[in-house]
């Protein structure tokens, strides 16, 4: 029986570690010139000017529908009725909401006759109900991004992120006055670094994944349906419907 002694790897290991510790420093990469993007229609706006939010409605809706989001239009006084129509259309009878102050009066009107779970207690106290029994979660938004049809949600104790991540149907209220052309413009206006939330969620359509065979599938995890109730609190441009 021939014996083949294992090679001594200590020298090789020392050589590799030596290269890692004292190797050539990485070559600094040049910073891209973002000025053209920021000055363009989806950046911060030419010379810092923000486009009229009312002119961004059509672009936002087209992008959101492209990601299979459902967009319903409402006026400031009609959004509770529009929200209820969406809930009924999707057969939602048990709904979870937060405690965002500016939504409470309208939600009380919209949710009459439905079973409402208020997210005003620790998740552990009702986790099973949220995951197994709740049909829909309703949230507010702080901004919409027109070029991608994206919603920006500022989560916190008043509206924990699970409201938009767990229920099968996510309904979000978006005001046209909070539409921005692109992500840089939205972040410049929101300035989250001044009062950093625990989470700032960007929601673009219902949940989706392409992990399996690189085929895009919707509703794989999280909400299968996203409904955007677009509240027109700005004056539409001439020739466009309100």
User: pLDDT digits over 159-195, tens only?
Assistant: 999 999 999 999 999 999 999 999 888 888 888 888 8
Q: Tell me whether residue 31 is in a domain.
A: no
Q: How far apart are CA 113 and CA 118, in angstroms?
A: 15
By the 10 Å C-beta count (0-12 exposed, 13-18 middle, 19+ buried), 114 is classed as middle
pTM of the model: 0.78
185 forms beta bridges with none
Q: Which stretches in the chain have pLDDT values below 70? A: 1-8, 23-27, 34, 37-48, 212, 219, 236-242
Asked, for residue 40, whether it belongs to a domain, the answer is no
In this predicted structure, what is the pLDDT of residue 149? 96
**CATH number of the CATH domain containing 139:** 3.40.50.10420
Q: Is the dihedral of CA 58, 59, 60, 63 positive or negative?
A: positive
Whether residue 148 is contained in a domain is answered as yes
For residues 211 and 227, give the distance between their C-alpha atoms in angstroms, rounded to a whole number.
25
In a domain, 86, yes or no: yes
In a domain, 4, yes or no: no
Task: Dig out the tokens for 133 from the structure.
Answer: 């029994």
Q: Is there a domain that residue 90 lies in?
A: yes
Place of tokens 């309100």: 242
Number of domains within the chain: 1
Q: Which domain, by its residues, includes 142?
A: 53-231
Q: What is the pLDDT of residue 5?
A: 59
């Amino acid at each position: 029986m021939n014996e083949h002694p294992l090679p001594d790897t200590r020298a090789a290991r020392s050589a590799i570690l030596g290269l890692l510790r004292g190797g050539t420093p990485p070559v600094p990469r040049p910073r891209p010139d973002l000025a053209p993007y920021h000055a363009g229609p989806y950046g911060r706006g030419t010379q810092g000017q923000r486009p009229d939010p009312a002119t961004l409605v059509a672009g936002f809706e087209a992008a959101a529908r492209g990601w299979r989001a459902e967009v319903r239009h409402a006026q400031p006084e009609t959004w509770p009725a529009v929200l209820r129509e969406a809930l009924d259309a999707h057969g939602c009878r048990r709904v979870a909401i937060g405690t965002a102050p500016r939504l409470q009066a309208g939600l009380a009107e919209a949710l009459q006759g439905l079973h409402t779970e208020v997210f005003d207690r620790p998740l552990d106290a009702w986790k099973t109900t949220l995951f197994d029994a709740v049909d829909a979660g309703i949230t507010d938004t702080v901004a919409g991004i027109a070029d991608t049809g994206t919603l920006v949600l500022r989560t916190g104790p008043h509206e924990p992120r699970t409201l938009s991540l767990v229920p099968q149907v996510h309904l979000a209220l978006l005001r046209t006055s909070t539409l921005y052309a692109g992500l840089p413009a939205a972040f410049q206006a929101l300035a989250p670094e001044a009062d950093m939330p625990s989470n700032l969620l960007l929601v673009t359509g219902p949940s989706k994944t392409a992990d399996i065979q690189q085929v895009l599938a919707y509703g794989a995890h999280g909400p299968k349906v996203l409904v955007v109730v677009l509240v027109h609190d700005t004056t539409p441009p001439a020739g466009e419907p309100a």
